[in-house]
Structures are given as C-alpha cells and as structure tokens.
Structure 1
Amino acid sequence: MGNDLNDLLYFARIVEHGSLSAASDALGVSKSLLSQHLARLEERIGVRLIHRTTRKLHITEVGQRYYERCRSVLEEVARADEVIEDVRGVPRGIVRVTSPVNFAQAVLAPVFCDFMRDYPEVEVVLEVTNREVDLISEGFDVALRIAPSVRTSSCVVRTFPVPRHVLVASPQLLARYGEPREPEDLRQLPSVSGMRGCADRPLWQLDDGRGTVRQIAHRPRLRTEDLIMLRHAALAGCGVAELPPLLCRADLAAGTLVRVLPKWALPEMNLYVLFLSRAGMTPALRCFIDFLSLRMRENLRSAIEGSMSMNLTAREAGPAAGASLRRVG
C-alpha cells in the first residue's frame, strides 16, 4: 500500500507541536484521529517512530530521520499547491503578528492600515507584547523583534537596521548633577531604564567609534518596557534615559531633552522579521511579509538618515551645549 499523505502530514505536525493535544488544536482534528493515523503509519512501515507515555512523546532516532524526509515531501506538495493558488487565489484569510508595543504604536500603525486597504480580504490579528513569543506553540505567523541580535535556528529571519538608541536627559537634571564628560560620569546620575539585560545590574555599553568600548552599570529609579513612560520620566528630570531617536527627536529639537555623551554610541539595533518558512505559506502571509519588508526598508532608511543628521548636529554642538548647561542654576 502506498503512502497516505495525511499519515505523513499528521505525523509531521505531531513532531513539530510536541504532543497530540497541541497538534490536534493546530489542525482542528481529534486526538483519536491523529493517534489512528500515527498507529497506521507505524504499522505500515514496521518501525516505531514515536514512543508514547501518559505524559510525553519521545521521537525515536529513525523517527527523526523519517520526519526530515516527510517534511521535504510536504514542502514540495505545498509548493505545487501554491502554483494553483497564485493563479487562482486572491490573498485572503488571517495573518497573526506579534510586535513590541511602542514599535507597533509609532511605526506599524500606518503600515498595517495601508496593507489592509490594499488587501481587503486579509484579516490581521496583531498582539503587541515585549516578550519573545514562540511562533509554533503560540500560533503566530510573523514575529517582529528589535534587538542587537536574535538567536533562532527554526525561523527565516529578515533583518533591517534601525537607528541606534541615544542617551538623553532634561537640562534641569544635568544642571543639578553636572554634565557627564566621560562614560564613567554616568554613575553619578540617576537613570530610568528598560528591562533588557541583567535584572540586578543593568548596563549601558558605549562605543567611541575608535575601538574603545565602556560598560557602565547604573541603578534605575524606574524600570519599564514602556518607552513613552521612560520619555516622560526623562522630561520630568527623573533620570537619564535610553530612547530611540524617533521618540525623542522633537524633544531634542525643542531643547526639553539634551543628548548625553553625544560622542559615544550605544550598540547597533536591528528590526528582525521572523517567520517559519516560505514553503507552504498562504498568499495572504506571503503578501504581508513582502509588503512589510518593503515599507520597513523605506521607513527605516529614512529614519536612519535623520538619525545620522541628528547625531552629527549633537556632536558638533556638544561643547556649546555643555557650556549652556553649566550656566543654568
């Protein structure tokens, strides 16, 4: 008897989701049906693929090798179906996306609205969260992350550079504590900070562009992932804050915030667009990723150019700004 593609599909999904229950939820079929297909497949080939206990499934060595071949077969079948979908289908269905909170508010809102206008039969489900989600176990199609780097072996990753964050403070705070001249001077100032890094010893890593790197430990008075809250705290003189330039550009132009140590730079940042594979992708998801990638490339290039101009201005004005601050108070 030949291969039943459903047997291969159900076996692959059980392996990928780690349990009959999770695969049942993802596929929308009963656990008993999955168990029947798995038993039939093992009986047909005469090999135990998965050891089943009351609590957990353990894939055998031959089961892992068989899964890799099954996945290749299923991907080829999906590619064949995509040929027909591309000819016949209009992108439709649901795309599930997760994004950091402030990035969604500041950057993604117009992009998503434009996408939904251009593809009226696609529904977008967006969860805004700063935690790292698991695409497979949590059922997301795309995850957006902003960080210096990401570690993943199971996802396709598209990378887009974003403007480096900057250290800022209110003129009143710097007048009260003195303007830092070297990174070590930051230890004398209060700070407000995000949650990234070690919880009991947050660090700022600063680079002078000539090979010198300093790591400065600081003790934040406020710790939150909400960048809007950090901006308000910096404006109120609560502490030095690390903020994306897009969020504080108007404050810097108005003088209500001032660059701190403008000749030193924080680490490079990137936007990462993560998804599982282009194989088997729905037309809706493929259109969404291509649309998002194009808009991010355009928007972030413009933001980086603006940030570079702002950095140059801040570095040229550094001594003059310091003199002005020393006259306050």
Structure 2
Amino acid sequence: MSNLADISLFLRVVDHKSISAAARSVGISPALASKRLQVLESNLGVRLLHRTTRKVSVTPEGLELALKGRHLVEDLETLTSDLKQVTKEVSGTLRITAGVSFGRVFISPLLPQFLQQHPKLKIQLNLSDETSNLIDSGYDLAIRISSSLESSGLVAKKIISNKRILAASPDYLGKYGSPKTLEELAQYNCLILASGQGREDFLQLMDQKGREHKVKVQGTLESNLGDALYQAALSGLGISLHSEWHIKEDLEQGRLCHVLPEFYKETSIYAVMPQRQFVPLRVRAFTQFIEQQLNKL
C-alpha cells in the first residue's frame, strides 16, 4: 500500500509544478523527494510524472491520482488531525469561490473578522460569475445564488432565501414609461444575464399570491457579469433583474426604481462543497459564520 505521505508529496509536485519546490515545502531534499516519488510509482505500477532537466509534467495516470486522491488525502489528514487535537483549531488554507457582486458586498467585508477569530487560517477568495467545477479547481467551498441546484455530486446547504426584483433608473422610466403589466415588459429594453446557468431572456416570476408567470424579454445588452448589468441599469440603459440586497441602497437613494413590484424571482443562497464524509473544520466553521452573519441582515 502506498504511503499517504508520498501521495501528499506527489500532490505538492502537481500544485508547485516542481519537485524541488515541493521538496522545500515539506522540508526535504529534492533527491529524497525524487526517490520517494519513484517508490510511489513502483508501488502503483504506473508512471505519474514525466521528468526532464527543465520541468516535470503530469501523466494521465498522475492526473487521475491527483483528481481522485486529493480529497481522500485531505479527508484522512483532517480526521487524524481532529483526533489528535484536544482543542480543535481552524487552520490551513480555505479556498472559496463566489459571485462577483455577492462576494464584493458581503463576503469580502466579513473576511477580516473571520481571520481575526482564526489566526492560523489562510483564505484564498476567487470572485467570478462563472460556475467553477469545485473538484477540478480545488475549491473547498462555493457560495452560489440559484433557484435550484442541479444534481452534481456536491453537497449544497441553503443559507438564506434571496429575492430578485426588477429595477430601472428614473431617467429610463421617465423617457419610456414604466410597464403596467408583466406582458408589457416584452416591449422594453431588458438587460439579460447570460451565465453558466443559462440566459435569462425567459423570465419566470412569482406574484404576491405565489402564482408563477412567464414572459419572454429582449434587450441590447447581455452579460455573464451581474455587475455589468447593474452599472448599465444605473446609466439608464434598461430594466434588469437584481437581488434585493444588491440594489437596496440604490432604491433608497432614488438611483433606481422598483419596476412591477408585485413580481419577483425567488432564489436561495447556498454553501456548496464537494461531497465528502469528512468536511474540513475550516469549511464547517466558515459556513456557520456566513450563515450567522447573513441571518442578521
């Protein structure tokens, strides 16, 4: 059976793209690291790395080990660490991905407080409106806003409900008027979100009685970035659909106006993580922290 430490060393080579750098990260010599990797390959009966004098590259078999073995190594390390510690400490590196707007407005401002509570923790935050593959990208946690999450072998925990509403600038409504019915929305310039979850040119909205309504819309701008549509709406380009929290201040200050307030889109904010039996303590702690903070709003 291959030594867990040797598999962990191999994963460091994959991450650092260098045997020497991986060796330094664990405090051993490159020669010893190379020898341990050769033993690992011998035990497994496959070549994991192509080595030249200038670089190392990962073989297909090595990629498979990195993909399937990383979480096994992390799970076992987490388990043994938790069992050894009398007092558990949140430590290590927490890799998070979240949408740009939500990450900017809510996640980023909360990170200093969480890091102050857990001084042995490091955080890597990636903000993108594109849906990343958590396992392939090496993320511990994703914060996603969706009406429903497709089954993908991931664990999704609902944190809080999220209402999205229609809005436009006073200038746009002053020039073109405000739609009186949902059907009239098809005659206006609508700013369309086009992301990995699809194009929102066919809106499915709820009324105050919980009945669902559908309308086909069109417009001169579509983007995978919600902030781009937000800026366009502020500039008077058209009507767009935004999370209530995103435009709350703009509505209060009169920079945007609520359009067709009797209709909304019900979504939720989820904490999504790879489906593993042993969720790292850092992930559990941050998920609980975010849930507590959001429910204070």
* 1:165-314 correspondence runs (5 A): 165-196=164-195, 198=198, 202-208=201-207, 209-227=209-227, 229-277=228-276, 279=278, 281=280, 286-287=281-282, 289-303=283-297
Tell me the SS of whatever aligns to 1:241. Answer: strand
Distance 1:161 1:26, change over 3 A: farther
Amino acid at match of 2:157: R
- Shift in Å, 1:232: 3.2
Check whether the contact 2:162–2:266 (CA below 8 A) recurs between aligned residues. Answer: no
Structure with max Cα Rg: 1
Query: CA separation in 1, counterparts of 2:136 and 2:94?
Result: 16
Q: Name the stretch that deviates more: 24-33 or 181-190.
A: 24-33
Gaps of 5+ in 2: 24-32, 48-57, 63-67
CA displacement 1:41-60 (0-9 Å, x = unmatched): 56xxxxxx99xxxx97479x
* 1:121-132 correspondence runs (5 A): 121-132=120-131
Check whether the contact 1:143–1:274 (CA below 8 A) recurs between aligned residues. Answer: yes
Distance 1:74 1:141, change over 3 A: closer
- Shift in Å, 1:226: 4.1
- Aligned positions, number: 274
The RMSD of aligned alpha carbons is: 4.0
Query: CA separation in 2, counterparts of 1:220 and 1:264?
Result: 23
Distance 1:32 1:159, change over 3 A: farther
TM-score normalised to structure 2 length: 0.72
The structure carrying a bigger strand percent of its residues is: 2
- Shift in Å, 1:152: 4.8
Tell me the SS of whatever aligns to 1:237. Answer: coil
- Structure 1 stretches of 4+ with a deviation exceeding 4 A read 21-36, 55-59, 71-78
Query: CA separation in 2, counterparts of 1:93 and 1:72?
Result: 16
CA displacement 1:230-275 (0-9 Å, x = unmatched): 3332233210011111222122223332211111121323233324
Gaps of 5+ in 1: 43-48, 60-66, 304-329
Check whether the contact 1:79–1:280 (CA below 8 A) recurs between aligned residues. Answer: no
Query: CA separation in 1, counterparts of 2:215 and 2:267?
Result: 15
Query: CA separation in 1, counterparts of 2:256 and 2:274?
Result: 38
Amino acid at match of 2:272: V
Amino acid at match of 1:180: P
Amino acid at match of 2:276: S
Check whether the contact 1:141–1:276 (CA below 8 A) recurs between aligned residues. Answer: no
Check whether the contact 2:171–2:236 (CA below 8 A) recurs between aligned residues. Answer: yes
Amino acid at match of 1:225: L
Check whether the contact 2:160–2:294 (CA below 8 A) recurs between aligned residues. Answer: yes
- Shift in Å, 1:33: 5.0
Check whether the contact 1:183–1:216 (CA below 8 A) recurs between aligned residues. Answer: no
Query: CA separation in 1, counterparts of 2:35 and 2:187?
Result: 64
Tell me the SS of whatever aligns to 1:266. Answer: strand
Query: CA separation in 2, counterparts of 1:72 and 1:188?
Result: 54
User: Could you tell me which residue of structure 1 aligns to residue 40 of structure 2?
Assistant: 37
Q: Name the stretch that deviates more: 153-162 or 257-266.
A: 153-162
Distance 1:159 1:35, change over 3 A: farther
Check whether the contact 1:177–1:188 (CA below 8 A) recurs between aligned residues. Answer: no
Check whether the contact 2:156–2:270 (CA below 8 A) recurs between aligned residues. Answer: no
Q: Percent of pairs identical after alignment?
A: 19
Q: Name the stretch that deviates more: 177-186 or 135-144.
A: 135-144
Tell me the SS of whatever aligns to 1:79. Answer: helix
